[in-house]
Amino acid sequence: MITDPTAVALLIGTFFILIVLGVHIAFAIGVATVITTIYIGIPLMTVAQNMVKGINVYAIMAVPFFIVAGEIMGSGGISRRLIELSNALIGWVRGGLAMVNIMASMFFGGISGSSAADTSSIGSVLIPMMKKAGYDGEFSTAVTMTSSVQGILIPPSHNMVLFALVVGGVSIGELFLAGLVPGLFLGLVLMIFVYFISKKRNYPMGDKFEPKKALKTTWEAGLGLGTVLIVVGGVVSGIFTATESAAIAVVYAFIITFFVYREIPISEFWYILGRSVKTLSIVMILVATASAFGWIIAYLKIPAYLTESILGFSENKYVVLMIINVLLLFLGMVMDMASLILILAPILLPIVTAVGVDPVHFGVIMILNLGVGLITPPVGSTLFIGSAIAGIKIERLSKAMIPFYIVILATLMAVTYIPEISLFIPTLFMR
């Protein structure tokens, strides 16, 4: 039973009112926590202590390194090389450029770990290219945005690190491996879908397959993809921790970008650091305030109440997972992904584990689920980026996205109800 219903109403009500008023979510969380703490009569020092506790964690140091590594590789010509590699491998089939888009996102996602970065880098090149080749602008943009969701699943993903950090006791290495097959599976499903659409609309084929060109582009792009091998290989083998592998990845990315590819001057590094710090500052403020928010939620026994309510409705694992999926899909449409991970993961994990869901499996479900929110109105950040790049209104894009929503939701259901898709590789290598 909730200890103080008025305090709960004050906490949740203040939070949503501030969101509606346009206050940044990190500050909305913090202000709601402070007001509720004052109402309850607990010293405000407790809020400060929990904020510091939230960011005073060794594992969180991996996040800034991943952000910097992704920024470096995204700025240094890797996206162009990944597009050339994808084109050499699969551009020769019907609808080849659409498949190149999906495959390039698959590769780039393993470097940036960000749907927004993926759409910005890949979309700025491929959307105009696809439109010039005869593809519809809405279709080209929809392919780009939907395939970018692979970036938050395919390792290394800083969202996976945030999930592991906030729930505790879940291996980052296992989460990395668990996201690999679902990410590739999403890409495969999208490729099959766009192939049939391309045949129906008679979209063009690319140049024929050339083995020499494929080998050359593989070598050039492979140097950039080495970042992924360093992180995943180091963590899974136990040679490095996630933080250590992320730091090494930054050094590797720096060398490849500025001394091997050499497409941008080394002076650009300071601008890259500036963008990274801007992103990191938002993440760290969010982690700190979410930590205090999580503490007040636990103090008011909201997790216990939700667990009791959901399990009281049904203890069937499949029904519970469907309820949670619907909840996450709805919240993902109106709130930021990282915020929802930090707030909801500690609340929902005890519920799903009570009905026998593996924590690693649930981590993948949650990440993919919230990834749908990134491409869904009204606040999907990737949707706005795609709209800006393509010069197409959100309303038109949302309509064009309907069949893609069906595809990605079908993928979500498969990942949710077939745990082996997520757990096969972690079980094979780390259990």
Q: Give the CA angle between residues 176, 75, 388 to the nearest 5°.
A: 90
Q: Transcribe 318-373 into DSSP letters.
A: HHHHHHHHHHHHHHHTTS-HHHHHHHHHHHHHHHHHHTT--HHHHHHHHHHHHHHH
pLDDT the model gives residue 110: 66
- Structural domain containing residue 106: 5-430
- What integer pLDDT is reported at residue 416 of this predicted model? 96
Q: Maximum distance among all alpha carbons in the chain?
A: 72
Question: What integer pLDDT is reported at residue 305 of this predicted model?
Answer: 78
- The CA distance from 119 to 123, in Å, is 5
CB 335 within 8 A of CB 379: yes
Contact residues for 82 (Cβ-Cβ < 8 A; gap 6+): 104, 107, 108, 122, 221, 224
pLDDT score of 193: 94
What pairs with residue 205 in β-bridges?
A: 94
Task: Kindly report the three-state secondary structure assignment for every residue of 265-282.
Answer: CCCHHHHHHHHHHHHHHH
For residue 38, the model assigns a pLDDT of 92
Q: Tens-digit pLDDT profile for the chain (431 aa)? A: 456 788 888 988 998 898 888 888 888 888 999 999 999 988 989 999 988 888 887 777 777 888 888 778 777 777 778 777 887 888 788 888 888 889 888 887 766 677 777 787 788 888 888 888 888 889 999 999 999 898 889 887 778 888 988 888 888 888 988 999 999 999 999 999 999 999 898 888 777 777 887 788 888 777 777 777 787 777 777 787 778 888 888 888 888 888 888 888 888 889 888 888 887 888 888 888 888 888 888 888 877 777 788 888 888 999 999 999 998 988 888 777 888 888 889 889 989 999 999 999 999 999 999 999 888 887 777 888 888 888 888 888 888 899 999 999 999 999 999 999 999 999 888 76
- Specify burial of residue 263 (Cβ count, 10 A radius: 0-12, 13-18, 19+): middle
The reported pLDDT for the residue numbered 417 is: 96
**219-251 burial string, b = 16+ CB within 10 Å, else e?**
ebbebbbbbbebbbebbbeeebbbbbbbbbbbe
| pLDDT for residue 3 | 64
Query: Does the global pTM surpass 0.75?
Result: yes
Instruction: Please give the tally of structural domains in the chain.
Output: 1
Count Cβ atoms below 10 Å from residue 306 Cβ, excluding itself: 18
CA angle 182, 394, 156 (to 5 degrees): 25
